[in-house]
Structure 1
Amino acid sequence: MIQLNLPKAKLRGKKQDDKPYVWDMFRSKYVRLTPEEWVRQHFAHYMVNHLEYPASLMVIEYATKVNGLDRRSDIVVFNNKRTPVLAVECKAPSVKITQDVFNQIANYNLDLNVDYLVVTNGLNHYCCKLDRKNHRYDFIEMIPPYSNFRC
């Protein structure tokens, strides 16, 4: 897989039917290793190991509804009160981060109602904070560490 703009994660893998799988510590199972999964696993490990997000408060492929349709947000982080506070949309490294990607996570946020949204393809990472007073998102330079969300 391609080298990402993230610290290298120590991932455990296996092959099954000549297809690569990776151990997902968040879902406690092996999952098919696609380019998007490569990004999702590295980004989730980055959040735990470098930004001190508790793995126990992170959900991978969190089920949500958008306009009555079932969707899955790649990563959702909760605070100690089990309120969602941050959502991450992961794309494969070959996928450009466009307005459509931001629209996708913004639509998910209609249900999630988090204050922070992150979009990444493993090479480029963007974080924005919801400004509820002015009804807009403001881009911020750094993804906040988990200490910002402790209750």
Structure 2
Amino acid sequence: MRFLVFGNSGSGKSTLAKQLAAQHELALLDLDSIVWETGKVAVQRPPDAIAASLAAFLSEHSCWVIEGCYGELVQAAALHCTELVFLNPGLETCLEHNRRRPWEPHKYASKEAQDQMLENLQAWVTGYYQRQDQWSYRAHRQMFDSFAGPKSERLSGNTVA
């Protein structure tokens, strides 16, 4: 099994990915962990380092769950997945999930530091449906629609069925 879970920030990707990984005893990769510099907020790693980290994960694990919103990485991982899951619960759900998000110590030094980024995150999430970049609804929709293998789109809820 190789699940690829993607969607907007706050859509429930991390929650679902953790559930799938635990239920099926799969390796788990949060794409945030390879995109951003460790210990730095919103500082992206060089593209070649990101690609190398993804390639290393894929070569080290035959069964996995990968989750994230990064279109170019989702496309790269989609070439190897056995099931694609697009979380698309709508803007208000994503915004609410972000407001209730617990502290993510792997991303922020403190809950306060995380909360200081909330306004910027919410603005970015709100732009999901208007942006034209690889991290937009348009790009995610195109990837989902063109994927020929097993796939599902979840408009609400993020628990394992």
Q: Same fold (TM over 0.5)?
A: no
Q: Structure 1 or 2: larger helix share?
A: 2
Q: Structure 1 or 2: larger strand share?
A: 1
Q: TM-score, normalised by structure 2?
A: 0.29
